[in-house]
Amino acid sequence: MRHTVSVLVANEAGVLARIASLFSRRGFNIDSLSVSKTERDDISRITLVVEGDNKVLEQLTKQLNKLIVVHKTSNLTNDPIVGRDLALIKVTSTQNTRSEIMQIVDIFRGKIVDVASNSIMVEVTGDEDKINAIEKLLEPFGIKELVRTGKVAMVRGQK
C-alpha cells in the first residue's frame, strides 16, 4: 500500500542527509520525496510517498520521530488531503501534431510554457493519476524529457 507522510523538520544543514540515511539503512522504499520551506523560517516540510504495509509504515514513522531534527511526522494517507504533483513534459511536435497536443494540454488544464521548432514543453499540475493520464496521452507523440516534483500534500480545513 502507498502512504503519504508529511514530516516537519528543522531547517538546518544535513537534515535531508539524516533522513535519507535512515531510509537506506532501514530498507524503506521511497516513491517520491519533496522538501520545501514552510510558513516558518526555521521549519521545512518533507512530503514522502512510501510503499509498504502498516507495520513498515509504523516503524518508519517511529524511526523518523527518533531523529532530533524531526519535529512532527503525520501519516496523511487516510486524511482528507489535497495532494499535488507538478510535471514538466517536453513533447516532440511537428506542425501536424502541435494543435492536437495543445488540445490535450487544454483538456488537462495544463500550460504550454515553451515552444521550439520540434518540441513543446508542457506544465501540468494535479494529483498523481491526472499526471499519469496526460503522460500516457502524450507518449505516442514522443516524450523527449520528463520531470516531476513528487507529491506535496496538505490536509483540508483545520487541523
116 lines the binding site for other proteins (CB under 8 A)? no
Report if residue 69 touches other proteins, rule: CB under 8 A: yes
Q: 145 pairs with which residues across the strands?
A: 90
Could you tell me the sign of the dihedral formed by the alpha carbons of 148, 31, 127, 43, in that order?
A: negative
Check binding of 63 to other proteins (CB under 8 A). yes
Beta strands in 11-142 (DSSP E): 29-37, 43-51, 70-75, 81-92, 111-115, 119-126
Q: How far is the CB of 72 from other proteins (least distance, A)?
A: 8
The H or E element that residue 140 is part of is: none
- Choose between 59 and 97: whose C-beta lies nearer to other proteins: 59
Provide the binding-site residues for other proteins, judged by CB under 8 A.
Answer: 9-10, 13-14, 17-18, 21-22, 25, 55, 58-59, 62-63, 65-71
